[in-house]
């Protein structure tokens, strides 16, 4: 008699980028109703949903309200690095991780701060772009065009090679300095560890450059990107053995979740 092997378990931790991957600003509704149905069924079976985004908490909550979702994420990764969990009422920070994240960045940015005026002047002399500081980085950028953002980031990456631990996180025309140890990938891996799981039980979906750290088989077994993903993301997902969907935005996520769960 041939041995009977039980089917592989479906993903127990479902990590999705938000803008472009799940949320389509100009579609109505911006998140497909089929995603809500699929996610609700998965959560009822014990799966947990993580929104892994570059947005901060107010910005994400505002977008979630506009989407009128009936399902809630169990965890949030905010600004590509801070961790929050839903306690049944609200999202509360995972203090130990967030404190270590803040302290690590503060030490790194103290080294970077003296060079910010020089870097800002270099950008302003060559491009139509806005350089500013915020609560998460002393050097943030909004370029006028994606081509300009790419050229600026090449210059910034050369600078990063002079500063151990420093990296540039980019999404379209937006970019900022960050610490290489704190990314969408390391944050998702930390949530996986806290849940007592391994990468074999994780699904990850993303569409842009800041999603690359989590779109790796070392972080998630199931990888998918929508048809609207940038070429760099599509290339990495294919290389890692994941799926580049023919569907766009949340429709791709729904189709992949349903297929992988089969």
* 125 shares a domain with 109: yes
pTM to 2 decimal places: 0.94
Question: Each residue of 127-149: pLDDT tens digit?
Answer: 999 999 999 999 999 999 999 99
The confidence score (pLDDT) of residue 9 equals 53
- Residue position matching structure tokens 């379209």: 172
DSSP 24: -
94 assigned to some structural domain? no
92 assigned to some structural domain? no
* 194 shares a domain with 144: no
Measured CA to CA, the distance from residue 253 to residue 51 in angstroms comes to 13
The confidence score (pLDDT) of residue 260 equals 73
- What mean pLDDT value characterizes the chain? 94
Domain end: 120, 144, 179, which one?
179
Measured CA to CA, the distance from residue 133 to residue 29 in angstroms comes to 34
Total structural domains within the chain: 2
Confidence tier at 10 by pLDDT (50, 70, 90)? low
* 18 shares a domain with 71: yes
* 193 shares a domain with 249: yes
* 65 shares a domain with 17: yes
* 36 shares a domain with 149: no
Q: Is the pLDDT of residue 77 over 60?
A: yes
Q: Is residue 191 within a helix (H) or strand (E), and if so which, with residue range?
A: helix 184-194
The confidence score (pLDDT) of residue 5 equals 35
Domain end: 151, 179, 207, which one?
179
Torsion of CA 120, 121, 124, 125, to 10 degrees: -150
Answer yes or no: are the C-beta atoms of 31 and 67 closer than 8 Å.
Answer: yes
* 23 shares a domain with 64: yes
Domain end: 152, 179, 206, which one?
179
* 145 shares a domain with 118: yes
* 108 shares a domain with 46: no
* 107 shares a domain with 169: yes
5 assigned to some structural domain? no
2 assigned to some structural domain? no
Confidence tier at 85 by pLDDT (50, 70, 90)? very high
87 assigned to some structural domain? no
Percentage of the chain lying above the pLDDT 70 cut: 96
* 188 shares a domain with 174: no
242 assigned to some structural domain? yes
136 assigned to some structural domain? yes
* 171 shares a domain with 131: yes
4 assigned to some structural domain? no
For residue 241, the domain's CATH number is 3.40.50.1000
Answer yes or no: are the C-beta atoms of 207 and 195 closer than 8 Å.
Answer: no
Domain that holds residue 161: 100-179
The confidence score (pLDDT) of residue 34 equals 96
Give Cα separations from 187 to 75, 77, 212, 249 (angstroms): 11, 7, 13, 22
């Amino acid at each position: 008699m041939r041995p009977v092997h039980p089917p592989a378990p479906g993903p127990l931790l479902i990590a999705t980028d938000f803008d472009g991957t799940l949320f389509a600003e100009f579609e109505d509704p911006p998140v497909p109703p089929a995603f809500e149905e699929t996610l609700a069924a998965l959560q009822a079976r014990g799966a947990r949903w993580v929104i892994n985004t570059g947005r901060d908490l107010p910005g994400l909550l505002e977008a979630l309200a506009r989407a009128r979702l009936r399902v809630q994420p169990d965890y949030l990764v905010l600004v590509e690095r801070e961790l929050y969990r839903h306690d049944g009422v609200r999202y509360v920070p995972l203090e130990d991780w967030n404190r270590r994240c803040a302290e690590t960045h503060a030490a790194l940015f103290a080294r970077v701060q003296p060079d910010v005026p020089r870097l800002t002047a270099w950008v302003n002399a060559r491009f139509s772009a806005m350089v500013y500081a915020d609560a998460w980085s002393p050097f943030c950028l909004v370029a006028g065009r994606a081509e300009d953002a790419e050229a600026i980031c090449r210059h910034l990456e050369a600078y990063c090679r002079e500063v151990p631990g420093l990296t540039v996180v980019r999404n379209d025309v937006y970019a900022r300095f960050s610490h290489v140890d704190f990314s969408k990938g390391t944050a998702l891996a930390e949530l996986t560890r806290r849940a007592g799981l391994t990468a074999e039980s994780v699904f990850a979906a993303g569409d842009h450059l800041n999603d690359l750290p989590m779109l790796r088989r070392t972080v998630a077994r199931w990888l998918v990107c929508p048809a609207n993903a940038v070429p760099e993301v599509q290339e990495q997902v294919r290389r890692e053995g994941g799926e580049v969907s023919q569907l766009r935005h949340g429709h791709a996520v729904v189709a992949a979740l349903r297929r992988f769960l089969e």
